Amino acid sequence: MAVYTKLGAETLADIVGAFDVGQLVSAKGIAEGVSNSNWLLETTGTDGGGARFILTMYEMRVEVEDLPFFLGLLDHLAARDCPVPRTIHDRENRAFRFHDGKALALIEFLPGVSVSDPTPAQARAVGGALAQMHLAARDFPETRANGMDLSAWKELLGGCGREGLAGIDPSLPDLVERELAFLSANWPGDLPCGVIHADLFPDNVLMLGGDVSGLIDFYFACNDITAYDIAVTHAAWCFDADGGAFDRALSDALLAGYEAVRPILPEERAMLPVLGRGAAMRFLATRAYDWLHTPADALVTRKDPMAFARRLGFYADPENAAMFGAS
- Return all residues near 125 (Cβ < 8 A) that are at least 6 apart: 207, 210, 211, 212, 257
Binding to its own copies by residue 300, rule CB under 8 A? yes
Q: Which of 34, 79, 145, 208 binds its own copies (CB under 8 A)?
A: 208
Q: Which is nearer to its own copies, 115 or 152 (CB)?
A: 115
Q: Least CB distance from residue 118 to its own copies, whole Å?
A: 9
Nearest Cα neighbor of 68 from 54, 40, 52, 87 is: 87
Ramachandran category for residue 311: left, alpha or beta (phi over 0 → left; psi -120 to 50 → alpha): alpha
Binding to its own copies by residue 210, rule CB under 8 A? no
Q: Least CB distance from residue 290 to its own copies, whole Å?
A: 14
Binding to its own copies by residue 64, rule CB under 8 A? no
Binding to its own copies by residue 286, rule CB under 8 A? no
Residues in the chain: 327
Binding to its own copies by residue 17, rule CB under 8 A? no
What is the identity of the amino acid at 54? I
Q: Which stretch binds its own copies (CB under 8 A): 75-83, 168-176, 180-188, 200-208?
A: 200-208
Q: What is the DSSP letter of 120?
A: H
Nearest Cα neighbor of 2 from 44, 47, 57 is: 57
Count of residues in contact with its own copies, rule CB under 8 A: 35
Q: Which stretch binds its own copies (CB under 8 A): 25-33, 96-104, 184-192, 218-226?
A: 25-33
Q: What is the DSSP string of 254-277?
A: HHHHHHTTSPPPHHHHHHHHHHHH
Backbone angles phi, psi at 173, to 5 degrees: -55, -45
Q: Least CB distance from residue 141 to its own copies, whole Å?
A: 33
Q: Least CB distance from residue 27 to its own copies, whole Å?
A: 5
Q: Which stretches of the chain bind its own copies, using CB under 8 A?
A: 1-3, 6, 8-13, 24-32, 40, 42, 111-117, 206-208, 298-301
